[in-house]
Amino acid sequence: MALPQLKNDVPKYEMTIPSTGQIVKYRPFLVKEQKVLLVAFESKDNKQILNSMLECLSTCVPDTKIADLATFDVDYMFTQVRSKSVGETSTLMHACEECNEENEVKIKLDSIKVKIEEGWKDIVEVKISEDITIELKYPSYRDISLMSNNDDTSDTEMLMDTISACMKAVKTENEYLLIKDEPKEEVEKFINSLTNQQLEKITEFATSIPKLSHTQTYECKKCKTENKIELSGLQDFF
């Protein structure tokens, strides 16, 4: 006799996507989704972890194209879903700056925010010459997955990949060329043809991508010194 399939009344919550202001409904992870995430994290394979995170979020936040959202949107949404699934706090270990004693620090996940500067736009135009303009966007994890993530990838290669991921289109007087439709070799050739001054305009945008951020203070359990830790990016919170 087959076991009955549970039809639990899973609670629904609401959250706001940082970059769009759209309010979406979501549910907590079920055991099957938590299992997928645990297996991925145990593998220590970044690509597997990313794919499992996107897959689980897509299931828990229906009617939302998770893979198309900016990376910081997905990071924020993951913390919110996790807070309702596993617990509303995350425990980190931090060494005291004074005595180096390891302390347990509890972070309230609902206090984590994405810092977005005033006047933020999802698409920014950068004019690099009299007749050429580049449209820049904050990359999604779909874009990031196409980057070179090998252990031997140099910092320069990573920066070039990030710049490519931030480029949406190249505009001329007569053409509108979407980067996603162009061969990678052509994109690399275009980037390599830029002057340092032109590249700097794009790099400034690429290095200003919003991130999850939080400042936490705690008193060392051993020497009573007050410590302050700055957390930035999803990996800092788990």
Q: Report the alpha-carbon distance of residue 116 to residue 209 in Å, rounded.
A: 9
Q: Is residue 43 part of a domain?
A: yes
Average pLDDT over the chain reads 86
What are the residues facing 24 on neighbouring strands? 15
Whether residue 178 is found in the same domain as residue 232? no
Which residue type sits at 160? M
Instruction: Specify whether 105 is located in the same domain as 141.
Output: no
Give the residue carrying structure tokens 């993530």. 149
pTM as predicted: 0.81
Q: Which pLDDT score is estimated for 206?
A: 81
Host domain of residue 233: 13-114+211-237
Give me the number of domains the chain comprises.
2
Q: What are phi and psi of 87, to 5 degrees?
A: 160, 150
Are residues 55 and 147 part of one domain? no
Higher pLDDT, 236 or 231: 231
Q: Please report whether residue 1 resides in a domain.
A: no
Asked if residue 7 is part of any domain, the answer here is no
pLDDT over 70 (residue 2): no
Q: Which residue has the higher pLDDT, 59 or 144?
A: 59
Q: Could you tell me if 127 and 202 lie in one domain?
A: yes
Residue 20 and residue 100 in one domain: yes
Q: For 82-108, write each residue's pLDDT tens digit.
A: 889 888 888 899 999 999 999 999 988
Helix segments in 183-226, DSSP class H? 184-192, 196-206
